Structure 1
Amino acid sequence: MVQRATAEQAQRKMATRAAFGVTLAELAGEGLDVVAVDADLSGSTTTKKFADADAAYAGRLFNTGIAEQNMIDVAAGLALTGKVAFTGSFAVFGTGRVYDQIRNTVCYSDLNVKIAPTHAGVSVGPDGGSHQMLEDISLMRGLPRMRVLVPADYAAARAALRVAARTPGPVYVRMGRASVPSVYAPDVQLELGRAYVLREGTDVAIVACGVEVEQALKAADALEARGVSAEVIDAFSIKPLDADTIVASARKTGRVVVAEEHSVIGGLGSAVAEALACACPTPMRFVGMDDCFGKSGEFEELMSYFGLDDAAIVEAVESIMA
């Protein structure tokens, strides 16, 4: 197992987006030729911290203004000159508004561009349904040559950005706005194509990604008090998916619940169902956005309102156990 956060570390809340700029600066300091291209949101996405970290990095951040399609094309051009190009913006703009450019410029040509938007999912909160991107994993995992990483916390986001930077070709890293508890130790190292068993169990497997990982761990604690042994898996890498780890858990437990802060259509739940349908058909339940748009509200309120919190995971487990 990978190293988990200590009880003291787990109390420290940070947003996954906070890892973006500082990690780019670290990578540049290690000699990697990284650049960032942002669409007038460098303060919110934190790419500005990359430019501010060292005077030598100021020329590596390019602001295209509110022109997201151009942002992707500029990043593609920089990749063609040998740079490791990261793009910023909010997820609703950084994937939805630019899908054609990602598909036909980045993926079709297999360019070394990393799509790394922030403010994904309902964690955008008060910005409301128009800005809460809930289809991005589906969009990105459907693209040939694209890899998809969804970190659970700040440490995992740092690890994901490092994996993306050192993986040739297109990579999608999904980050959020809300501050979330720490799941992993600060210096954790994660791998492309790996899922991580964070808690072993025998009665049900809870496969989660992103902010749902911490909710799944809370649910497992509540279930233990009710006599249910839940295994918790962080499907950090949704594409490629670690089907072996998930299938092994499904065979052991006989039941699978998938939790994601994303539509239940086309995301992690679909990926897990596809893997199990081929290798180990298993009873499943899905915790996620049920084919709907979000609403304006605080992050915790929305998690409860849309049935994405630990209580919803417990309910799904009790349903499948029945």
Structure 2
Amino acid sequence: MKKYTFKEKKDTRSGFGAGLAELGDTNENVVALCADLVGSLKMDKFIENHPDRFFQVGIAEANMMGIAAGLTIGGKIPFTGTFANFSTARVYDQVRQAIAYSGKNVKICASHAGLTLGEDGATHQTLEDIGLMKMLPGMVVINPCDYNQTKAATIAIADYVGPVYLRFGRPAVPIFMPEDQEFIIGKAIQLTEGTDVTIVATGHLVWEALQASEKLEAIGISAEVINIHTIKPLDEEAILKSVAKTGCIVTAEEHNILGGLGESVSRVLVQNNPIPQEFVAVNDTFGESATPAQLMEKYGLTDNDIVNAVKKVITRK
């Protein structure tokens, strides 16, 4: 089995900042908006190089979405920046009516997603955002796994015409994806080959899935790990090809068990190849204040939780 290692850890929000800065230098139509969280969104470099293409909206997220929608009419490609909770739940009406309904070319860039926002607690954590955004017709939903993939995704979505929700996080996580790997919207990436179980993971849980696959190999279980960076449109072909070989699947995500990647996969399976599935996700609850590691442990999002889910699903084949 292929082994994945890393030399450093870095937060995925910095990958967004690096990608946005590069876009600023290469695409004059890219503009950026922020709701008073420039430092948290790592937008400083873009602002330094292109101050005339940056709009500080202040703590007025709904207004930011309306402005972004309007900017597209003049051919601009707006990237909005705030926390995931404020990019979705706080502004859902504006996103639905002003952006999604008319297919506006807005890139909604959402940091501090999931539980691993950590000590700020449940009011700032969001575990519902993927569900909210994937239900909007025409909305692309992307959740990259590390710094390199987040940078690549940020650059790639500028070329896609239509609304995009790009989700990333606060904590430093291992960088293990190739720096030069092309990011293709809607195309999953198979990381390991296996014959006993398929593990599809997204975001921070991709690294946990890889760690789980090594632990499983040590006990004689061959796991195929797939990086699902795009939740909508979902790479159904990659999932079905894998489960046709393994006969069972575990989905892993830093999101509510309701409405996320796991349920999207379930729909694909029930329509095409009903097989046993287990879910690694937050079990329909709000989060709380603690360190990211403590929260991952308490809410069952670690590599050990994936290992346990694999053991369970294999018995159901």
TM-score range, shorter chain: over 0.9
State whether residues 4 and 210 of structure 2, in contact with CA within 8 Å, keep that contact through their aligned partners in structure 1.
no
SS in 2 for 1:116: strand
1:40 and 2:36 aligned? yes
State whether residues 5 and 184 of structure 1, in contact with CA within 8 Å, keep that contact through their aligned partners in structure 2.
no
Which of residues 176, 186, 210 in structure 1 aligns to 2:179? 186
What is the correspondence of 1:152-167 to structure 2 with a 5 Å cutoff?
Answer: 152-167=145-160
Equivalent residue pairs, number: 314
SS in 2 for 1:188: coil
SS in 2 for 1:281: coil
1-side partners of 2:297 and 2:253: how far apart?
A: 13
Residue in 1 that maps onto 2:212: 219
2-side partners of 1:50 and 1:6: how far apart?
A: 32
Opposite residue 240 of structure 2, the aligned amino acid is: V
Which of residues 302, 308, 314 in structure 1 aligns to 2:307? 314
> How many Å apart are 1:28 and its aligned residue?
2.1
> How many Å apart are 1:163 and its aligned residue?
1.9
SS in 2 for 1:89: strand
Q: What is the CA RMSD across the aligned residues, in angstroms?
A: 1.2
Instruction: Provide structure 2 residue ranges, at least 5 long, that are not aligned to the other structure.
Output: none
State whether residues 47 and 61 of structure 1, in contact with CA within 8 Å, keep that contact through their aligned partners in structure 2.
no
> How many Å apart are 1:5 and its aligned residue?
9.7
Residue in 1 that maps onto 2:261: 268
Which of residues 43, 46, 49 in structure 2 aligns to 1:50? 46
Instruction: Provide structure 1 residue ranges, at least 5 long, that are not aligned to the other structure.
Output: none
1:22 and 2:18 aligned? yes
2-side partners of 1:313 and 1:131: how far apart?
A: 26
CA spacing shift, 1:5–1:147, aligned 2, 3 Å: farther
Opposite residue 102 of structure 2, the aligned amino acid is: S
2-side partners of 1:289 and 1:32: how far apart?
A: 41
State whether residues 21 and 43 of structure 2, in contact with CA within 8 Å, keep that contact through their aligned partners in structure 1.
no
State whether residues 17 and 151 of structure 2, in contact with CA within 8 Å, keep that contact through their aligned partners in structure 1.
no
Residue in 2 that maps onto 1:245: 238
User: Alpha-carbon deviations, 1:173-212, whole Å to 9, x = none?
Assistant: 1010011001201222120111111000000000000000
User: Alpha-carbon deviations, 1:214-268, whole Å to 9, x = none?
Assistant: 0000000000000000000011111000000001111100010000000011110
2-side partners of 1:176 and 1:6: how far apart?
A: 21
1:228 and 2:221 aligned? yes
1:115 and 2:111 aligned? no
Residue in 1 that maps onto 2:125: 132
State whether residues 5 and 185 of structure 1, in contact with CA within 8 Å, keep that contact through their aligned partners in structure 2.
no
SS in 2 for 1:97: coil
> How many Å apart are 1:136 and its aligned residue?
0.4
SS in 2 for 1:62: strand
1-side partners of 2:3 and 2:81: how far apart?
A: 28
Opposite residue 267 of structure 2, the aligned amino acid is: E
SS in 1 for 2:251: strand
Residue in 1 that maps onto 2:74: 81
What is the correspondence of 1:293-308 to structure 2 with a 5 Å cutoff?
Answer: 293-308=286-301
Residue in 1 that maps onto 2:94: 101
Opposite residue 50 of structure 1, the aligned amino acid is: F
CA spacing shift, 1:280–1:121, aligned 2, 3 Å: same
> How many Å apart are 1:295 and its aligned residue?
1.0
State whether residues 152 and 183 of structure 2, in contact with CA within 8 Å, keep that contact through their aligned partners in structure 1.
yes
Question: Identity of counterpart residues, as a percentage?
Answer: 47
Runs of 4+ in structure 1 displaced over 4 angstroms? none
SS in 2 for 1:117: strand
